[in-house]
Chains A and B, each alone.
Chain A
Amino acid sequence: MDLAYSPEEEEFRGRLREWLAKVLPSLPPKPSPDDWPGRRAYDLGWQRTLYDAGYADVHWDASPTMRLIFLEETEKAGAPYVGANFVGLLHAGPTIAAEGTAEQRARWLPPVLRGEEVWCQGFSEPDAGSDLAALRTRARRDGDEYVVTGSKIWTSHAEVADWCELLVRTDTSAPKHRGISWLALPMDAPGVTVRPLRTLAGSTEFAEVFLDEVRVPVANRVGEENDGWRVTMVTLSYERGTAFVGEVVACRRVLGEVAREARANGRWDDPVVRRRLGRLNAEFRALWRLTQWNVSESESSGGVPGVGGSVFKLRYSRVRQELYDVAADVLGPDALDLGRGWVLDRLSSLSYTIAAGTSEIQRNIVGERILGLPKG
């Protein structure tokens, strides 16, 4: 059991830190949250900068520990968040890397790394959220193409995406988990309509996607026909298992800022506030240790992150909400002003116990797949 990094890893960290200190000051200002074209350009630009400096492949090719260091250092330095590249870099990309053919990897992975193409995730449907396998969007085979009809909902970044990891039903007579396939859908194909949805934070970060007789080449299917549920499990394990690593570092940074704000505005004198902040410090420290534990485990098993991601996500999503509640307590009446830092973050933290599988669903997974309890 050790927490020391190898000389090679420390060297990587040092080099990265130096490079970040050099490039971050000259970065253009962040576009406003509702300026989608601006955000896309900004996020892709940052990815391109990483690519040119040789850091882009850290997500798939480097060791899990290198990746951990990368996320830790970029977050600590306040580098831009993956943003619109979230799906491409953190779960569609790794899925294609693990399950795609050589041609598929060559077609889709480099543009993600170079910051040229954005992906979104078309899993959920209006009547298939938690019960994802109940999805009804259909793909009928017609020669070398699938003809896809249906609709998706809550699709993050759909407005600016080039590709969508799309789950479709390719066999309507099979049991629901068996008739699903995983396709790469080009978002500019005829018949795709995106209608933005407004979130409770006022922004339009996700959308409804309507698919009307959209033709998708059979060659865009990742994995076998009707074997898409298995591929989906790979995607979800990345989404739950490793996608939040950098955020824990960011939360620790915010926690320090909240403590300093409390000292500046006098809330620090309230022992209840101090104790809550102290407890959150314990929580985020432990979540970071759990992250290091999970990363070391995946390093030795060499595989896809396991169901342990559900354990992490359950605690993290709750504690993240507590962090912003304490921040609001520290801000007092200012917490009602959307112009204040943390207030938008407080709103968006509400999605963490829902998106990527609700807490209830994660508890089912932990109960059934880790503890071996019977299905309900």
Chain B
Amino acid sequence: MRFQLTEDQRALRDGVRGLLARRFGREALWAAVDGGGLDRGLWRELGAAGFFALRLTEAEGGVGLGLPEAVLLFEEAGRVLLPGPLVATHLAAGTVPGAATGEAVVTAVGGGGLVEWLDEADVVVGGGSGAVAAGAVALRSVDPLTPLHRVSADVSSARPDDPFVLLTAAEQLGTAVRACELAVQHARTREQFGRPIGAFQAVKHLCAELLVRVEVARAAVYAAAVTGDPVDIAAARLLADEAAVRGARDCLQVHGGMGFTWEADVHLCLKRAWVRAERGGSITESEELLAEELLAGAG
């Protein structure tokens, strides 16, 4: 057993981290918030870098890697708050033409009958594009970087499948990491009473709990990627949602009044985390699945 990143996995993660730092740094994030719309150029670049085709075999034009590697990429995407229906497009690679290369933007009907980026998408998975588009109602999305539509109940009944939930959890993990980084950075530099606020225990302890949630969620998400087990995935999802949502809230608290402004990044973390927590389907269902397993595992 070696439950640690391999050299190759580390290199892959660092590679995508570098690409995203170059192409989607803080300025690009804010340009996207102000400008709206999906950056098709970036989408194709991600395609060229293998982001969507990662798990297709080499014969199919892919990279031939697995869920653990995909999870590392989606964690990085979550860390920079990369917008767009990344998970749906990744999962469509190999079945929807153009998805693997990033030529096509693919979205899907997610938990609660919500569809992200419907107007920008070339293809909608689940429920048939026509039916979805016909009955879709635009919401005023809480997240400025995730336009949302709601579709009618009969189209939205399907439960999100496991890889969809797991990769969403990986994005949540990345956003939790970002929230922790932002909180720590602010706690080190913002001074009150003549010292950095991070020296005050109440603040320090919020930051410590942010990290604890990140590390627990990380272990759960990586393990679920290795086993692919539905119960592991349900657990990973619960912990990653918590790490991202609670993490962003605590990060906001650490930022004080600054945290309540539009200019701070914190609210973007929180809003995206909320959107993704819905995308993974009902939390109650995940909890019930985990509860049932306790009885099934009786022995």
- Residues from chain A with a CB closer than 8 A to the CB of B286 are 278, 282
Tell whether B290 is near chain A: CB-to-CB under 8 Å. Answer: yes
| Contact between chains at A374 and B298 (CB < 8 Å) | no
| Shortest CB distance A89–B (Å) | 23
* Given known A-B contacts A3-B227, A296-B1, A259 and B212 have beta carbons under 8 A apart: no
| Shortest CB distance A54–B (Å) | 22
CB proximity to B under 8 Å, residues A294-321: 295-297, 299-300, 308, 311, 314-315
| Shortest CB distance A267–B (Å) | 12
Q: Which of A6, A315, A371, A373 has the most CB of B within 10 A?
A: A373
| Contact between chains at A259 and B216 (CB < 8 Å) | no
- Residues from chain B with a CB closer than 8 A to the CB of A271 are 284, 288
Tell whether B136 is near chain A: CB-to-CB under 8 Å. Answer: no
| Contact between chains at A296 and B223 (CB < 8 Å) | no
- Chain A 239-281, CB-CB to B under 8 Å as 1, else 0, gives 0000000000000000110011001000000010011011101
The answer, among A279, A282, A285, A373, for a CB contact under 8 Å with B187, is A373
| Contact between chains at B1 and A1 (CB < 8 Å) | no
Tell whether B226 is near chain A: CB-to-CB under 8 Å. Answer: yes
Give A375's nearest chain B residue, CB to CB. B199
The answer, among B201, B205, B207, B235, for a CB contact under 8 Å with A281, is B235
The answer, among B204, B223, B293, for a CB contact under 8 Å with A3, is B223
Q: How far is the CA of A292 from the CA of B2 in the complex (A)?
A: 8
Tell whether B170 is near chain A: CB-to-CB under 8 Å. Answer: no
| Contact between chains at A311 and B3 (CB < 8 Å) | no
| Contact between chains at A293 and B219 (CB < 8 Å) | yes
| Shortest CB distance B182–A (Å) | 12
| Shortest CB distance A301–B (Å) | 10
* Given known A-B contacts A293-B3, A373-B188, A376-B199, A367 and B220 have beta carbons under 8 A apart: no
Give B287's nearest chain A residue, CB to CB. A278
Stretch at the interface among B4-12, B147-155, B160-168: B4-12
- Residues from chain A with a CB closer than 8 A to the CB of B239 are 282-283, 286
| Contact between chains at A289 and B6 (CB < 8 Å) | no
| Contact between chains at A5 and B9 (CB < 8 Å) | no
- Residues from chain B with a CB closer than 8 A to the CB of A364 are 201, 204-205, 208
Chain B contact residues (Cβ within 8 angstroms of A): what range? 35 or more
| Shortest CB distance A1–B (Å) | 5
Give A260's nearest chain B residue, CB to CB. B298
| Contact between chains at B220 and A274 (CB < 8 Å) | no
Q: How far is the CA of A3 from the CA of B227 in the complex (A)?
A: 8
Q: How far is the CA of A275 from the CA of B298 in the complex (A)?
A: 18
| Shortest CB distance B111–A (Å) | 17
Q: How far is the CA of A162 from the CA of B232 in the complex (A)?
A: 45
- Residues from chain B with a CB closer than 8 A to the CB of A300 are 2, 4
The answer, among B205, B216, B222, B288, for a CB contact under 8 Å with A367, is B205
Q: How far is the CA of A2 from the CA of B231 in the complex (A)?
A: 18
| Contact between chains at A371 and B196 (CB < 8 Å) | no
Give B205's nearest chain A residue, CB to CB. A363
Q: How far is the CA of A363 from the CA of B198 in the complex (A)?
A: 12
The answer, among A5, A9, A289, for a CB contact under 8 Å with B222, is A289
| Contact between chains at A3 and B226 (CB < 8 Å) | yes
* Given known A-B contacts A263-B295, A300-B2, A366-B211, A376 and B204 have beta carbons under 8 A apart: yes
Q: How far is the CA of A289 from the CA of B220 in the complex (A)?
A: 6
| Contact between chains at B290 and A279 (CB < 8 Å) | yes
| Shortest CB distance B211–A (Å) | 6
Tell whether A368 is near chain B: CB-to-CB under 8 Å. Answer: yes
| Contact between chains at A311 and B212 (CB < 8 Å) | yes
The answer, among B231, B287, B297, for a CB contact under 8 Å with A275, is B287
| Contact between chains at A286 and B220 (CB < 8 Å) | yes
| Contact between chains at B1 and A3 (CB < 8 Å) | yes
Q: How far is the CA of A290 from the CA of B239 in the complex (A)?
A: 12
* Given known A-B contacts A3-B227, A275-B284, A278-B287, A366 and B212 have beta carbons under 8 A apart: yes
* Given known A-B contacts A259-B295, A376-B200, A360 and B288 have beta carbons under 8 A apart: no
| Shortest CB distance A310–B (Å) | 8
| Shortest CB distance A21–B (Å) | 14
Where the two chains meet, the residues of B that have a C-beta atom closer than 8 Å to any C-beta of A are 1-6, 9, 68, 184, 187-188, 195-196, 198-201, 204-205, 207-209, 211-212, 215-220, 222-223, 225-227, 231-232, 234-236, 238-239, 284, 286-295, 297-298
**Complex A-B: 28 CB contacts under 8 Å:** A1-B2, A1-B4, A1-B226, A3-B3, A3-B226, A9-B1, A255-B294, A259-B291, A275-B284, A278-B287, A278-B289, A281-B290, A282-B220, A282-B234, A282-B238, A283-B216, A283-B239, A286-B219, A289-B219, A297-B4, A308-B215, A314-B208, A363-B201, A366-B211, A370-B211, A373-B188, A373-B204, A374-B198
A-B pairs with lowest CB-CB distance, top 3: A278-B287, A278-B291, A278-B290
Not counting A286-B223, A293-B4, A371-B207, a sample of 10 additional A-B residue pairs whose C-beta atoms are within 8 angstroms of each other reads A2-B2, A3-B226, A65-B1, A282-B290, A285-B232, A300-B4, A315-B212, A367-B198, A371-B184, A373-B198
Where the two chains meet, the residues of A that have a C-beta atom closer than 8 Å to any C-beta of B are 1-6, 9, 65, 255-256, 259-260, 263, 271, 274-275, 277-279, 281-283, 285-287, 289-290, 292-293, 295-297, 299-300, 308, 311, 314-315, 360, 362-364, 366-368, 370-376
